Structure 1
């Protein structure tokens, strides 16, 4: 609900502070007094487009602040929380427009975008008038209004649950089909690689073992060559031990002639021959102990090279080949099982589709029934509002399969035909300015709070009517004000008499400067204002008596 409106330097308004009450507030005044300035100012605070022409001549900027009371759990609280803002019981929206056309927006004195201000404004206030292009005139909201009118919350919840389940089932099926398609594209390659790897039969750690064995045999081969060369050297000329023994025998014959002088030499040669025999024997044993098998080396190298070549081909380490083979075998197994899974998921998708169709059908039937009730209610209001020749209808059309949403399978639009036999069309295209406002009023009365903002503004809803019709308009505005705060700009005394709060808007001039002033009227002043509206410039006793009668009837 709008609590306060503060305006500074807007067109003819220099300074204005207004406090608003619940229920029906009426704004009256002579044509051109500035009622539109007041509404434009309120619109600016709620995110309307700014214009430098709104800044009062001689001022640097215009400032408008609007304070609202937030009902508990109002959608604005959710909107602001999603933006990371803290909320309280009241909310102050402020707009500053400079004389060069720039504007700034604030929410509770925190800088905000004009877009956020407009979102908040749309949730806090509905403005209905001759040039209104939002609210009831926007077909995008007609389905929600019909559902709110009929109380379709349970049916909508069922549709949304079924729509979500079907969307998930369809997504699961699409993912499985895409995975299967990818697997089929690689199937020939996978089977070829698995066959190669199965034939190769790699084992974890095998490459390291083979490399170690190959290294050992290569070192053995080099060592065997060295030992064979040494053995050849020792075996030259009959062998070293043979030559040592021959030398020993020759010296033994000479020892008989020379005596003990050669005894030391003979002993040394004997020891050398024995050591040589041991050396040759040890060399032979060492050569025999070397594990070198040329054929085995070839086998090991072929296997090692095959493992490393396969690893390079598949861009993995040799030890990962066994895991790669297992992975590819798993993908082939998944491919083989994929057809079955796709079949199961397709069945689940079809079942979820049946549930969705049933839920949407139930909601559609309820909408058609509710549309008939709404049409009956709105058409019943039209005669009293001087629209008796017009007809209103709520059109419920089925959407194509691809257009279904979580809100169902229908498009809902409000249409009117202003004369018998005339074609139905959209409200905004068919109805004239005054008719449009009264159609909206009839709709709002029937909707009785469904999708209604806490504050509603009607701009000259009584244009071109009077007498009983104006009284009917006032009655319906008062009924609306029982569920929401209603502000109405009116030229009708019958409407003005219904107000719980009354503002008079007038131009004041001192001969130099013209200003728009707004005065809150007490009971006597209200009587005079309604009498003026009845009689014109000269207020007569009859006009005052008629004003008294209107005020008494409105109580």
Structure 2
């Protein structure tokens, strides 16, 4: 529900703030006073193209601000959350129009695009009249209203679910078909896997191979180094072994230990060194015993390592990554083998899914046909009451392509109107008269009362071209609509204005050579006087005041 609308430097309005409540609010005023500017402001806040001509003369920019209570618009709250514009229960739209033709928009204080502004406004307010922004002229809105009127939630959900299933299967088949003939790829993968599976690619096996190859490659020098070291440790004809030499050194120190206690620590170190040398000699002997000059084994390891490096270069990976490459090839091969089988199964599943969608679409189509008849009959009756005697309203169902999944079903909707008897019905968007269009829109909304999810409806000059009893009926229908929706109505007829729950008057005055408009909320006495003016013109007579009082009494 619209709670507040603020205008600044907009057309002839220098500054104005309007508070709105539930029910029906009427806006009246003299011709040229700017009473339709409030509707224009909502249009710009709904994403209409910026118009520099709407900036008040002498001002740099016009500012428009609308504050909504989205409690009655859950779809708008969901949209705010999805688009990350949510701020608790706040819902404010702001837009500036610059004199140079530019504009900017904000949602809940955050910059927004005109597309985002339009999407959100479409969930909050619906404008009917001689304006570009009229949701009922769009086929998508017409279809949504028909489904809401007929309460088609269940069959529509079934169609959407069936369409989603069918679409998913078609996408899967397209993806598999794009791979083309995979036999060559399968043969290539099998050959690559054969090469890789002949090798032991475990990390520990690779480490053992590399270490063994290095040891055999340096076996001769290793043997010579071990022999030389062992010879030095064990001694030869040229001198005693290191162990015997250490014993001799320890013996010489032992004779002097009594004179220097610290020599005992030196003796302990030499004893430990002797033990370490002995252990080193034993380990070195074991290493020497393990070393063997085996050219055949070395050649085998060298050949294996060469094959691994060649495979690594071929697949452009390190030798350590060959195991992962083999696993990837194996997974792809399995997938390609399954793809052929899956393609054969998919055709059957797609046929079944298409049949399920068509069955659900047929059920929805039957429900829509029945609902279209009820809505056509109800709206046609209301059109006659609203001064379009002989007029006719029809809901035409247009079939769509049933060979592709459509989540909206197997048909689209077109609202058709014949304004006068004997004339063929034409699409609603092509109705020439703005007044007729507004009255037809009103009739549709009243006939579908409670079905439209948009909480605020604006009717601009809905009473154009009518008067008398018909005008009173129009007002009564608007008031009835206001029982379940917030209704804003710009009118010049007192019979319509009298039906409002609240009343604003727009007036104009010349100040400093410029025209200024002011908007005033009327109390009971002021309202009676405004209705009398609307009835009697410039000179308000006692009869006009009495008639205004009767209109208000009848409406109350």
TM range (shorter): 0.7 to 0.9
TM-score for the superposition, normalised by structure 1: 0.77
Shift in alpha-carbon separation, 1:79–1:10, aligned structure 2, 3 A? same
- Aligned partner of 1:188 in structure 2 is 187
Query: How far off is 1:516 after superposition?
Result: 1.7
- Aligned partner of 1:271 in structure 2 is none
Shift in alpha-carbon separation, 1:215–1:26, aligned structure 2, 3 A? closer
Query: How far off is 1:448 after superposition?
Result: 0.8
- Aligned partner of 1:439 in structure 2 is 440
Structure 2 matches for 1:66-77, cutoff 5 A? 66-72=66-72, 74-77=74-77
- Aligned partner of 2:21 in structure 1 is 21
Query: How far off is 1:292 after superposition?
Result: 6.0
- Aligned partner of 1:407 in structure 2 is 408
Query: How far off is 1:420 after superposition?
Result: 4.6
Are the counterparts in 1 of residues 128 and 438 from structure 2 also a CA contact under 8 Å? Answer: yes
Report the secondary structure of 2:25's partner residue: strand
Query: How far off is 1:212 after superposition?
Result: 7.0
Q: Deviations over 1:475-507 (max 9, x none)?
A: 111111111111111122211111111222222
Query: How far off is 1:465 after superposition?
Result: 0.9
Report the secondary structure of 1:356's partner residue: helix
Report the secondary structure of 1:505's partner residue: strand
Report the secondary structure of 1:482's partner residue: coil
Are the counterparts in 1 of residues 528 and 549 from structure 2 also a CA contact under 8 Å? Answer: yes
Query: How far off is 1:166 after superposition?
Result: 2.5
Query: How far off is 1:137 after superposition?
Result: 0.8
Q: Deviations over 1:278-328 (max 9, x none)?
A: xxxxxxxxxxx9966777776666666555545544445667768766765
Shift in alpha-carbon separation, 1:518–1:325, aligned structure 2, 3 A? closer
Structure 2 matches for 1:100-499, cutoff 5 A? 100-178=100-178, 181=180, 183-193=182-192, 305=306, 308-315=309-316, 328=329, 331-332=332-333, 334-401=335-402, 404-420=405-421, 422-499=423-500
Counterpart CA distance in 2 for 1:515 and 1:310 is 87
Query: How far off is 1:397 after superposition?
Result: 2.0
Counterpart CA distance in 1 for 2:86 and 2:444 is 35
Are the counterparts in 2 of residues 137 and 427 from structure 1 also a CA contact under 8 Å? Answer: yes
Query: How far off is 1:46 after superposition?
Result: 4.3
Counterpart CA distance in 2 for 1:307 and 1:23 is 83
Counterpart CA distance in 2 for 1:137 and 1:51 is 23
Task: Figure out how many residues of one structure are paired with residues of the other and give that number.
Answer: 493
Q: Deviations over 1:228-256 (max 9, x none)?
A: xxxxxxxxxxxxxxxxxxxxxxxxxxxxx
Report the secondary structure of 1:120's partner residue: helix
Counterpart CA distance in 1 for 2:100 and 2:144 is 41
- Aligned partner of 2:518 in structure 1 is 517
- Aligned partner of 1:255 in structure 2 is none
Counterpart CA distance in 1 for 2:90 and 2:325 is 65
- Aligned partner of 1:553 in structure 2 is 554
Shift in alpha-carbon separation, 1:342–1:387, aligned structure 2, 3 A? same
Shift in alpha-carbon separation, 1:310–1:123, aligned structure 2, 3 A? closer
Report the secondary structure of 2:450's partner residue: coil
Extract unaligned runs of 5+ from structure 2. 224-289
Larger Rg: 1
- Aligned partner of 1:239 in structure 2 is none
- Aligned partner of 1:53 in structure 2 is 53
Report the secondary structure of 2:364's partner residue: helix
Counterpart CA distance in 1 for 2:219 and 2:24 is 110
- Aligned partner of 1:34 in structure 2 is 34
Shift in alpha-carbon separation, 1:183–1:532, aligned structure 2, 3 A? same
Shift in alpha-carbon separation, 1:132–1:467, aligned structure 2, 3 A? farther
- Aligned partner of 1:64 in structure 2 is 64
Query: How far off is 1:216 after superposition?
Result: 6.9
Task: Report the more deviating stretch, 129-138 or 456-465.
Answer: 129-138
Report the secondary structure of 1:401's partner residue: coil
Are the counterparts in 1 of residues 357 and 405 from structure 2 also a CA contact under 8 Å? Answer: no
- Aligned partner of 1:529 in structure 2 is 530
Counterpart CA distance in 2 for 1:307 and 1:87 is 62
Are the counterparts in 2 of residues 77 and 87 from structure 1 also a CA contact under 8 Å? Answer: no
Counterpart CA distance in 1 for 2:110 and 2:305 is 73
Shift in alpha-carbon separation, 1:319–1:21, aligned structure 2, 3 A? closer
Are the counterparts in 2 of residues 534 and 543 from structure 1 also a CA contact under 8 Å? Answer: yes
Are the counterparts in 2 of residues 206 and 319 from structure 1 also a CA contact under 8 Å? Answer: no
Shift in alpha-carbon separation, 1:319–1:404, aligned structure 2, 3 A? closer
Report the secondary structure of 1:71's partner residue: helix
Counterpart CA distance in 2 for 1:28 and 1:310 is 87
Task: Report the more deviating stretch, 405-414 or 209-218.
Answer: 209-218
Task: Report the more deviating stretch, 374-383 or 542-551.
Answer: 542-551
Shift in alpha-carbon separation, 1:90–1:303, aligned structure 2, 3 A? closer
Counterpart CA distance in 1 for 2:308 and 2:512 is 105
- 2:1 is aligned with 1:6: no
Report the secondary structure of 1:377's partner residue: helix
Counterpart CA distance in 1 for 2:59 and 2:322 is 82
Q: Deviations over 1:135-168 (max 9, x none)?
A: 1011122111111111111112222222222333
Counterpart CA distance in 2 for 1:503 and 1:331 is 73
Report the secondary structure of 2:32's partner residue: coil
Counterpart CA distance in 2 for 1:320 and 1:42 is 65
TM-score for the superposition, normalised by structure 2: 0.77
Shift in alpha-carbon separation, 1:184–1:491, aligned structure 2, 3 A? same
Report the secondary structure of 1:157's partner residue: helix
Are the counterparts in 1 of residues 389 and 421 from structure 2 also a CA contact under 8 Å? Answer: no
Counterpart CA distance in 2 for 1:118 and 1:324 is 52
